[in-house]
A and B are shown apart, each in its own frame.
Chain A
Amino acid sequence: MSSDCAAVPADTSVDVWRIYVEKVRALSPEQRLIEAEKFTRLERKAEIEYLKQRFPDLGPGEFAVEVVRYRHGDALADAVAETLLKRHQAVAISD
């Protein structure tokens, strides 16, 4: 099954990958982009489901911060948490 060709995934034979490449080559750039976006959407759904299981008790805002932390790291998550906190305080004062 495995291939010695660097351009072919390790678990795929050259023949199978060549067929896949030909199929993609036959698509227009617009069609390829649509397929890529479908794939991203599916992956993102799976990611959110995983995080919901990991953080079952968080409210929407806290959960959002944890999603940012998972995707983009602590620095951006902390900055977002601070932004949301300021926004909450501003709303509280105006109320």
Chain B
Amino acid sequence: MRSPKHCSNAIKQWRSVTDDNPALQKVVDALNSEGIPHAVVGSMGAGPWGLRRMTQDTDIVTIAVHERIDELIGRLTDNDSYVPVDEARRVLASGGSFNVLNLETLQKVDVFVARRDDPFTASRLLRRVRATVQGVDTWVATVEDIILAKLRWRLTSRSELQWRDCLTIAPMNDLDVDYLRKWADVIGVRDDLEELLEAIKPLR
């Protein structure tokens, strides 16, 4: 589908380059209001740990909820946002991911919802640290959890970008190697982690 001419009547102005992130603000506010723990992950979450590269969206991880899903959906949807409501409802209950796109700035948040019995996400949320991300007072995952998640993502996607991100941020931080090894065993990325630790030796 090409964008229809009518779209110009639906958006008079939009902000192409902004310092804030209304999409992230909306997601964080919605999760906070329902008391649901969350953390910014992915490349945006790697910013405090030294990663500097263009990223098209913000990834946020949270856990599935059993109740008040409609209230949560209600807080995510308004005239300035595009949210696939049916998909979001299903994902919030049972896990997966969905998008929240702000139509004023075209910024997108990918909401990754883990099952409640996912021990790695429970650990990530327990260790998260406070940060202000694009003007939004929120939480980010620790550098170890960012690296572990990127190694796990690389397993399925074979994304060299994820590997390059790990190679970039690992030498820039004092890593808790015991924690990394423990969870690398659990999520099945121990060989990749050891390769990473070996690769960054010349820079330590």
A48 in contact with B17 given A6-B199, A7-B203, A83-B82 (CB within 8 Å):
yes
Evaluate whether A41 and B79 lie within 8 angstroms (CB atoms) in the complex, with A62-B7, A80-B103 already known.
Answer: no
State the interface size on chain B (CB cutoff 8 A). 51
Q: Which residues of A contact B202 (CB under 8 A)?
A: 5, 7-8, 14
Give, as a whole number of angstroms, the nearest-CB distance from B109 to chain A: 12
Flag if A80 contacts B54 (CB, 8 Å): no
Contacts of A37 in B (CB 8 A): 19, 47, 134
For chain A, which range describes its interface: under 10, 10 to 19, 20 to 34, or 35 or more residues?
35 or more
Number of A-B contacts (CB under 8 A): 156
Contacts A25-B173, A84-B6; A36 near B47 (Cβ below 8 A): yes
Across the interface, do A43 and B54 meet the contact criterion of CB distance under 8 Å?
Answer: yes
Residues of B within 8 A of A82 (CB): 1
Q: Which residues of B contact A24 (CB under 8 A)?
A: 50, 172
Q: Are B54 and A79 within 8 A (Cβ)?
A: no
**B203–A17 touching, CB < 8 Å:** yes
Q: Does B68 contact A (CB under 8 A)?
A: no
Q: Which B125-155 residues have a C-beta within 8 angstroms of A?
A: 129, 131-134
Are B7's CB and A33's CB within 8 A?
no
